Amino acid sequence: MNIFGNKVKLRAIEKEDNTFLLEMINSPELEYWVVGSSLPTSSIEQGNWIDKVGNSHDAIRLVVEEIEGGPIGFANIVQIDQVNRSAVHGVKFVSDFRGKGFAKDTVRAVMKYAFETLNLNRLESTILEYNEASIGLYTKACGWSIEGIKKQAVYKNGKYNDLVLIGITRQDYEQIQQS
């Protein structure tokens, strides 16, 4: 089953995505914007990850494609907690497709799937404090709320950076749908 937005299709990862995902994981520019850190990854390591990463009831990882095109990004719903009905979500896109509405469409499609199909009650994420575009995407364009700051939580670019904690509940999502 694929997940559709207005501009994007989210689908399971295939072996053929190895090169695309490898370029994303090894991109210094993307590394700057995302939480966590990556090690240099080989095509063999990336292929092994694809072989073992299949989607499950506690983690869904997806390639984002333009409706009529090829891969442009990655999205996930991970740490799915079946008892508390919550999960962690994130997206990342290659630079040519940022600022063109693809991320907004992806986040909205993920929210719809998470709340209406998976029956989750809450989605959350963390964003580096300096990633104002992502903070705006989630809070202004998609209705998420800033819930707190995790001080000096990620060492990146030679300093400790704060993480902005964001989240949205099913109730918030339903209110957005009604307005």
Tokens 């997806």 identify what position?
Answer: 62
Q: How far is CA 135 from CA 53, 78, 145, in A?
A: 28, 19, 9
Cα–Cα distance for residue pair 169/88, rounded to 1 Å:
12
Count other C-beta atoms under 10 Å from residue 88's C-beta.
17
Lookup: tokens for 162: 């704060």
- What is the pLDDT, as a whole number, of residue 18? 96
Q: What is the pLDDT of residues 114-142, one digit of tens each?
A: 999 999 999 999 999 999 999 999 999 99
- Looking at mean pLDDT, say which of 52-56, 155-159, 167-171 comes out highest: 167-171
DSSP codes joined into one string, the chain: --EE-SSEEEEE--GGGHHHHHHHHT-HHHHHHSSS------HHHHHHHHHH---BTTEEEEEEEETTS-EEEEEEEEEEETTTTEEEEEEEE-GGGTTSSHHHHHHHHHHHIIIIIS--SEEEEEEETT-HHHHHIIIIIT--EEEEEEEEEEEETTEEEEEEEEEEEHHHHHHHHH-
Q: For residue range 8-64, what is the model confidence (pLDDT) as tens digits?
A: 999 999 999 999 999 999 999 999 999 987 789 999 999 999 999 889 999 999 999
d(CA 125, CA 162): 13
Residue 104 pLDDT:
97
| 109 has pLDDT over 90 | yes
| Rounded Cα gap, residues 97 and 104, in angstroms | 11
Opening angle at CA 38, ends 126 and 84, nearest 5 = 35
Q: Which domains does the chain have, with CATH numbers?
A: 3-178 (3.40.630.30)
